Structure 1
Amino acid sequence: MRAVGFVVRMVWKGILLAVILSLVAGCGFIAQQGNQPMTVPQAPQGMTYFEFMQDRIDAAKELKPSCGVGMFASLAILGPFYSVLYTYVAIEPDSFLASVTAPDKDIAKGVAGAGLSQIPTIWWETVERLSWTMLGSSNIGCKFRLVEQAR
């Protein structure tokens, strides 16, 4: 009986270690990518994702608080779901999920069948496009000011 308890504890510790390492690696990837120039063509030359988000926070402060908070809340709530969905649809364009997903300009093109090592980069570029669509384009409901040049 002690051997079974030992094995269960070791498996549990292994799972916890895997989860912790995945979170640390994910945070490291986001920190590294967030400091690289954005791939969105409309973004000012050399602007990083973190600079973009800071600019959007500054722009939101110029509006009614409820409007700016609402736009960031919608990005925080919907962004993770749509970034994963759009990444999957881009990589598996013949899947059932792709057939029931509405066409969107934020879905990556030309990445069908991408390898496992390419998926994080495709996902990150999708996050950038979604963020730009929700917070950077001029046709949004809150009418944020235009994105300022990178500082």
Structure 2
Amino acid sequence: MIFVNMDVGRSEPLHCTALGKALLISFPKEKIKSLLSGKLEKYTRSTKTGVKSVIAEIERAGRQGFAVDNGEYRDGVRCIAAPVYDFRGKVAAAIGVSGPVSRIGAKKIKGIIKEVKSAAGRFSRKLGYKKQINRTIALDSHKKCHCEKRSGEVPKGSP
């Protein structure tokens, strides 16, 4: 049996948790580098400690609309998380599901991803988020892409 203790108010690392990666999705790359500038602690054999590889994961999470932690913080525990956006289109929170890797396998992961993204979308709408909102997506430290407000156009990775 695997027991995961999640204390209310407890801080966990950004670089190796699905919730942490989901929270960083809307940050510009330079801000993420700044936040991860210290030594990234290795919690398990799966923990990524290179800033470039962590940023690549966060960028992938932004494109997909969800982040995954495959035993990166705790051995044998998988987490799927999605960002919750506020009325400005900024990430205000993240919601996720954690469980033993043996119980969140290939057959169940797609359904869990769908449910987590759906829940994040509902919370986002409660916070006033609208899919057509203008959002600035940082491409790198020098360029910015402004998504135009068009009916039905959804920024990639949005709930």
By percentage of residues, which structure has more strand?
Answer: 2
Higher relative CO (Cα under 8 Å, sequence separation at least 6) belongs to 1
TM-score (norm 2): 0.28
TM-score (norm 1): 0.29
User: Which of the pair has more CA radius of gyration?
Assistant: 1
By percentage of residues, which structure has more helix?
Answer: 1
